[in-house]
C-alpha cells in the first residue's frame, strides 16, 4: 500500500519489557487482569505486524496494570525507565513509533514531574493514565494539579481501562478486559463529566479506547440523570456534547456493530485507529484490520483514511 492516507496510525499500541514484567509479577500481578500471562514484544515483532497490515506509525504506551505497585519511589523509577526505553525505540525507528508516557499515579507529585519530563525532555506525544489508580478515579480532586498542568499544555491524555477495585465480586474469574474494561471506560468518562473535569480543563485532548466501551448506549441515560434527577450540573453542557469532545479509538471488535453505533452517537471526526497489540496477539490484530477493510466504508473516505486524517489532527507533531 503506497498511499500515505491509507496507511494507519495506531494510537493504541503497547509494549512490555522484561524489567516491567518482573516488577509486575513481584507485586503479585501474575495473571494481569485475569489474563493468562504477559505477551512477548520486540520492535522487530511489532514492525513485522505493522508492515503486514499497512500501519505506518504506532504510538506505544504501557497497558494495565500500569506502573504503580504500592511504592511511590519504585513507581517513579519504573515509569522513567519505561518512558526512556520507548523514546529510544522511537528514535531508533524514525517515523514508525510514537509514545504516550507512563505516569506513576496515584502519586500525583511523581506523575506531575514525570509528565513534564516526558513532554519537555523526552518529546513524548502525550501521557497515558488508567481509568482508576488503586481505586482512585480520574475526577478525584487529588489529580487536579496534574490536569491543570496538562490543560495548560493542551496535552493528549490516553485513558486506558484497568480492573475496577471490586473486580473480585463481579468478574467471576473471567478475564476483566472482556466486560469490566468497557464499563470502566464508560465510568471514567462519566466521572470526567459529572465531576466537572472536562469543563474545568477544556484543552486536554482525552482519548478513550475500544470505541468508548459502553458509552454510546449510556449517553442518553446519563443525560436523563443530569437533567431530570439532579446528577451533575443541570445548567451545564449536555452529556452528548461533552462526549463529542473526546477522541475514541477502535481497538477490539469494531465491526460490524460497535463503530457504526459510536459514529451514530458521537460522529466520526474524532475516531482513531487502535490495534491493542501486543496485548491483542498479532493474529487478532491482523483479523481486526481485515474486518475494518471489509466493512462498509464511510463516504468519501475509507476507515483507514478517515482515522489517519483524524490522528494527524490530534498528533500534529507525530513524526510520520
Residue 295's CATH number: 3.20.20.140
Is position 234 within any domain?
yes
Q: What percent of the chain has pLDDT over 70?
A: 99
CA 113 to chain centre: 21
Encode pLDDT of 26-52 as tens digits: 999 999 999 999 999 999 999 999 999
Torsion of CA 136, 140, 142, 146, to 10 degrees: 100
Are 288 and 280 a contacting pair, CB within 8 Å? yes
Counting residues of the chain whose pLDDT is more than 90, the rounded percentage is 91
List the domain range (segments joined by +) for residue 310: 4-314
Burial (CB < 10 A; 0-12, 13-18, 19+), residue 22, is: exposed
Read off φ and ψ for residue 247, nearest 5 degrees.
-105, 145
pTM, full prediction: 0.96
Between 273 and 236, residue with greater pLDDT: 273
d(CA 320, CA 312): 9
Let me know if residue 320 belongs to a domain.
no
Residue 191 has pLDDT above 50, yes or no: yes
From 290, 246, 291, select the one nearest 270 (Cα to Cα). 246
- pLDDT attached to residue 4: 82
Q: How many residues does the chain have?
A: 320
Do 272 and 233 meet the contact criterion of CB atoms below 8 Å apart? no
Let me know if residue 71 belongs to a domain. yes
Assigned domain for 269 exists: yes
Tell me: pLDDT of 170 over 50. Answer: yes
Count: domains in the chain: 1
pLDDT tens digit string along 204-227?
999 999 999 999 999 999 999 999
Whether the pLDDT of residue 2 is over 70: the answer is: no
pLDDT, residue 171, reads: 86
Q: What is the pLDDT of residue 319?
A: 60
Give tens-digit pLDDT for 93-116: 999 999 999 999 999 999 999 999
pLDDT value of position 1? 47
- The rounded mean pLDDT for the chain is 95
- Residue 173 or residue 143, greater confidence: 143
Q: Is residue 319 part of a domain?
A: no
pLDDT > 90? residue 156: yes
Amino acid at each position: 500500500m503506497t498511499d500515505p492516507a491509507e496507511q494507519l496510525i495506531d494510537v493504541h499500541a503497547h509494549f512490555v519489557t522484561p524489567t516491567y514484567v518482573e516488577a509486575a509479577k513481584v507485586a503479585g500481578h501474575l495473571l494481569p487482569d485475569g489474563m493468562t500471562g504477559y505477551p512477548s514484544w520486540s520492535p522487530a515483532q511489532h514492525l513485522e505486524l505493522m508492515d503486514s497490515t499497512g500501519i505506518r506509525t504506532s504510538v506505544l504506551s504501557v497497558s494495565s496494570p500500569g506502573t504503580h505497585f504500592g511504592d511511590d519511589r519504585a513507581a517513579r523509577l519504573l515509569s522513567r525507565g519505561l518512558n526512556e526505553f520507548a523514546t529510544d525505540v522511537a528514535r531508533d525507528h524514525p517515523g514508525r513509533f510514537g509514545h504516550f508516557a507512563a505516569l506513576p499515579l496515584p502519586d500525583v507529585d511523581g506523575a506531575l514531574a514525570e509528565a513534564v519530563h516526558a513532554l519537555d525532555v523526552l518529546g513524548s506525544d502525550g501521557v497515558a493514565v488508567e481509568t482508576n489508580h488503586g481505586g482512585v478515579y480520574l475526577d478525584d480532586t487529588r489529580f487536579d494539579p496534574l490536569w491543570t498542568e496538562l490543560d495548560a499544555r493542551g496535552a493528549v491524555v490516553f485513558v486506558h481501562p484497568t480492573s475496577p477495585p471490586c473486580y473480585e465480586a463481579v468478574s467471576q474469574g473471567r478475564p476483566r478486559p472482556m466486560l469490566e474494561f468497557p464499563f470502566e471506560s464508560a465510568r471514567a468518562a462519566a466521572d470526567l463529566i459529572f465531576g466537572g473535569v472536562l469543563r474545568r480543563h477544556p484543552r486536554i485532548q482525552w482519548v478513550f479506547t475500544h470505541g468508548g466501551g459502553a458509552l454510546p448506549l449510556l449517553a442518553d441515560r446519563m443525560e436523563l440523570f443530569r437533567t431530570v434527577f439532579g446528577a451533575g450540573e443541570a445548567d451545564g453542557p449536555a452529556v452528548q456534547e461533552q462526549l463529542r469532545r473526546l477522541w475514541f479509538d477502535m481497538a477490539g471488535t469494531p465491526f460490524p456493530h460497535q463503530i457504526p453505533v459510536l459514529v451514530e452517537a458521537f460522529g466520526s471526526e474524532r475516531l482513531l485507529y487502535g490495534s491493542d497489540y501486543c496485548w491483542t496477539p498479532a493474529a487478532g490484530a491482523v483479523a481486526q484490520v481485515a474486518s475494518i477493510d471489509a466493512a462498509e466504508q464511510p463516504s468519501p473516505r475509507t476507515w483507514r483514511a478517515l482515522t489517519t486524517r483524524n490522528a494527524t489532527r490530534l498528533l500534529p507533531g507525530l513524526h510520520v
